Amino acid sequence: MEPSITDDVVLERANERMALLVTVDKDFGELVFREGQLAAGGVVQLRLAGLSAERKAEIVSDAFRERAAEFPNHFSVIAPGRIRVRAKG
């Protein structure tokens, strides 16, 4: 929504709303595991570079349909053929 805001501000806003943060920014992995920060609702990182918009939508839709209950309060990664859900750091 605001490309110039910092990752810390993004996490702060997600926490204020108790929102699940969905991102393509790999920096959030470091914030979660090295610095112990996690959006209250959890973080879902998408690693779908190089795929068509239609394929990305299909993968994300399938992941949420199959595993959405696991995403809150966890750090998850959605990639082609793989969904990884890890407890917060």
- Residues 20-72: tens digit of each pLDDT: 999 998 887 777 777 777 777 889 999 999 999 999 999 999 999 999 999 99
Whole-structure pTM value: 0.86
Domain residue ranges in the chain: 7-79
Q: How confident is the model at residue 18 (pLDDT cuts 50, 70, 90)?
A: confident
Question: Would you list the DSSP string of the chain?
Answer: --TTS-HHHHHHHHHHHTPPEEE--THHHHHHHTS----TT-EEEE--TTS-HHHHHHHHHHHHHHHGGG-TTEEEEEETTEEEEEE--
Q: Which two tokens stand for residue 75?
A: 């750090």
Instruction: With CA atoms as reference, report the closest residue to 25 among 47, 41, 42.
Output: 47
pLDDT for 89 beyond 60: no
Stronger pLDDT, 39 or 14, i.e. the higher one: 14
